[in-house]
A and B are shown apart, each in its own frame.
Chain A
Amino acid sequence: MATSTKTQMPPAHGRPLAQGETRLEVDRILCDGYGMCAELLPELIDLDDWGYPIVHSHVPRQLERVARRAVDVCPVLALRLRSGR
C-alpha cells in the first residue's frame, strides 16, 4: 500500500524536543481543514483525503521562516512552532 513516509512519524508530542530542534504541531481539535498551511508549506504538510493536514513535524532550519508564515495564516490558529533550547 502506498503511504507517505510523513504518516509514519511518531506523534509529535510523544518525544521531548531536542536542543535546537524546531517542531511544527497542529492542534487537532482546533484544526478545521482550511488547508492554507499545506499550500504554503508543501515540503512539510500533505493533506489527507478530507483536507486535514498530515504534518511532518521536524522543521529544518531553511524552512523555519515559511513555517512561521504557515502558522500565521492559519485562520483558526491551530498550528504552532515549538523550539527546544
Chain B
Amino acid sequence: MALAGRAGHERRPPVSAVRVLAGPPLERGAESYLEHVARLGPLPLSQAQRTLIPELEASGLLGRGGAGFPVGRKWRSVAERAHGRGAVVLVNGAEGEPLSHKDRTILALRPNLVLDGAQLAAEAIGANEIVLYVGETAEAATDALQRAGAERRAAGAGSRVPIRIARAPDRYVAGEESAAVRFVNEGDARPVTTPPRPFERGVAGLPTLVQNVESLAHAALIARSGADWYRAVGEGDARGTALVTVTAPGGRPVVREVELGRTIGEVARLDAARPGDGTSAATASDTQAVLLGGYFGRWIDAGTAWGLPLNPDILRQHGLSMGAGVVAFLSTSTCPIVATARIAEYLAAQSAAQCGPCVFGLRAIADAVTRLARLEAHREDWANVERWAAQVKNRGACRHPDGAVGLLESALVTFEGELERHWHRRGCSFSAGVRSRAA
C-alpha cells in the first residue's frame, strides 16, 4: 500500500479532541443529569422533527457500530416508513466485539448523552418506543442508564415515549442488527434472513432504527451545536471525532476519543502522552502488526499501519475499516499465527449455528489454522484454508462468515513468511510467544 509517510506526524501534537467524553473527570464515573444539563443546556427536542435529519446528513456522521452507514440517511429511511404507523428506536449497546469497550464506556460515563440521542431520534423519526439494548455483562453501563433515566424523570425531562432495557446476551453476533431486533421480539439473539431489514420491519413489525450508542451520543451533540461544529475538527476530509479502543502489546484495552483522520501512529502516541493509567503505549519498534477493526477487521503490518490515517474513505480504498473503532497492537514477541488461530477459533465458536457454510466452514478453517499455529499442519491445510475462505464468503444470513474470513485472509498476506515456517513445520520464530497471550 502506498500511504502517507511518517514525516507527517509532527504537524500538530497528538491531542485527542474530547467531545463525547467531555465533562467531569472520567474517573468520577457517570455524569449526573443535572451536571449534564448545566454543561450542555437543554435538549432541543422541538426542532428535532424538522431540522435534525438534514443537520445529521450535513455533518457526514457515519454509524459507529462497525458498518459505517451514514446516520442521517438511516434516520430518513426509517422516518419515511414510520409515517402514520410509528417506529421504534433500538439503541444498540450490545458490543459483542471482545476488543471493543467504547460503547459500555460511553454508557457508563455519559449515559445522558445516549439518552438524549435516543429521545432526539424518537422525535425525528416519529417513534413510539425506545429500547436500550445493552450487553448483559455491562453492569456499570446498565446501572448508569437506569440512574440517568430516574434523574431525568425526576427533573421533568423524561422521555415522551416509553423506554425499556433489553439485556443483550454475551455473544459476538448478538449486536448484529437483525439479531438485536429478533432478541427484542422473540428472546433469540440470532440473525435472521434479510430482507426485510429492520428499517423496513423490525421490533413489533414496525420500522426500526437500530443505532449504535456512540452514533447517538454524537447526534445529541450535533443537535445542540450543529453540523459545522461537528466538522470543525478532524484531519483532511475525515471530520469529527471517534471513540477507539486501543490495546497496546500486552496491555489492557483503553478507550480514547480521537480526531478522525489522525494516523494509527498518532493514536499509539496518545497513550505515551498519558502515563500512569495502567497501560503502556505501543511503539513502532515493539509492534509487529496492527489489528484494525476488531475480529472482523484486518491485520496490517506495523510499518504500513503507522502512517495509516483513521479516515473511512482512505481505509475503504485499501479494503480496510475501523469497524467499531478497534486498534490493537500485536507485540513483536507474539506469534501472529497463534494470535490469528485464537481469533479464528473464537469466531467459529461464536457462529449462531444457523447457516451451514458458517457452521462447518469456520470450524474447518479454525481447526486448520490451529494446526498451523501448533506446527502440526497437514500438507493440504494452507490450500484448504484459502479455498474454504473463498467458499464461505457471502454465504451466511449475516456477515459473520465474511468478517471471519476477511481477518483470516489478511493474516495469510501479512504473515506469509511466518505461515510458511509453520506450514513446513520448521518451527515458530516466536517460540517464547506460543503460550503468551495474543493482542
In the complex, which range does the number of interface residues on chain A fall in? 20 to 34
- Indicate if B386 sits at the interface (CB-CB under 8 A): yes
Asked if B357 CB lies within 8 Å of chain A CBs, one says yes
Chain B nearest CB, measured from A28 CB (Å)? 4
Residues of A within 8 A of B358 (CB): 28
How far apart sit A9 and B393, CA to CA, in the bound complex (Å)?
10
A30 and B356 CA atoms in complex are apart in Å by 9
Interface positions, chain B 306-350, Cβ under 8 Å from A, are none
B387, closest chain A residue (CB):
A1
B361 contacts A48, CB within 8 Å? yes
Q: List the B residue with the shortest CB-CB distance to A48.
A: B391
Q: Which chain A positions have C-beta within 8 A of B193? A: 27-30
Q: In A24-75, which residues have CB < 8 Å from any B CB?
A: 27-33, 48-52, 54
Question: Which of B32-40, B122-130, B276-284, B394-402 is the interface stretch?
Answer: B394-402
Distance, CA A51 to CA B356, complexed state (A): 9
**How near does chain B come to A69, taking the closest CB pair, in angstroms?**
22
Contact check, A52 vs B195: say whether CB atoms are below 8 A apart: no
Q: Do the beta carbons of A29 and B354 come within 8 Å of each other?
A: yes
Which single residue of chain A is at the shortest CB-CB distance from B355? A28
Give the secondary structure class of A's interface: loop
Bits for B370-396, please: 1 = Cβ < 8 Å to A, else 0.
000000000000010011101111111
Is the C-beta of A10 less than 8 angstroms from some C-beta in chain B?
A: yes
A11-B394, A13-B195, A52-B395 given as contacts; is B387 within 8 A of A28 (CB)?
A: no
Question: In the complex, are the beta carbons of B354 and A7 less than 8 A apart?
Answer: no
In the assembled complex, B285 has its CB within 8 A of some CB on chain A? no
Q: Is A2's beta carbon under 8 Å from chain B?
A: yes
A33 near B387 with CB under 8 A, answer: no
Interface size on B (CB < 8 Å)?
A: 24
Main secondary structure of the interface of B (DSSP, over half): helix
B394 near A48: Cβ-Cβ < 8 Å: no
- CB of A54, distance to nearest CB on chain B (Å): 7
Nearest neighbor of B394 in chain A, beta-carbon distance: A11
Query: In the complex the two chains form, is A7's CB within 8 Å of B390's CB?
Result: yes
10 smallest A-B Cβ distances: which pairs?
A28-B355, A52-B356, A50-B360, A11-B394, A29-B354, A1-B386, A3-B390, A48-B391, A28-B397, A29-B397
B194, B195, B391: the one contacting A49 at CB < 8 Å is B391
Give Cα A30–Cα B361 distance, bound, in whole angstroms: 17
Q: How far is the CA of A33 from the CA of B361 in the complex (A)?
A: 13
What's the minimum C-beta distance from B296 to chain A, rounded to whole angstroms? 16
User: B388 touching A28 by the CB < 8 A rule?
Assistant: no
| Chain B residues closer than 8 Å to A7, beta-carbon distance | 390-391, 393-394
Asked whether A1 lies within 8 Å of B390 as measured between CB atoms, the reply is yes
Q: Which residues of B are found within 8 Å of A31, using beta-carbon distances?
A: 355-356
Q: Say yes or no for B364: interface residue by CB 8 A criterion.
A: yes
Instruction: Provide the residues of chain B in CB contact with A11, threshold 8 Å.
Output: 394
Q: Kindly provide the distance from the CB of B423 to the nearest chain A CB, expressed in whole angstroms.
A: 14
In the complex with contacts A10-B394, A28-B395, A29-B397, A49-B388 CB distance below 8 A:
yes
Which chain B residues lie closer than 8 Å to A8 at the CB level? 390
Quick check: B387 and A3 within 8 Å, CB to CB?
Answer: yes
CA distance A50 to B392 in the complex (A): 11
- Which residues of A (4-26) have their CB < 8 Å from a CB of B? 7-11, 13
Chain A residues, CB < 8 A from B360:
49-50, 52
Inside 8 A of A13's CB, which chain B residues have their CB? 194-195
A50 touches B357 (CB 8 A): yes
Known contacts A3-B387, A50-B361; decide if A28 and B354 are in contact (CB<8 Å).
yes
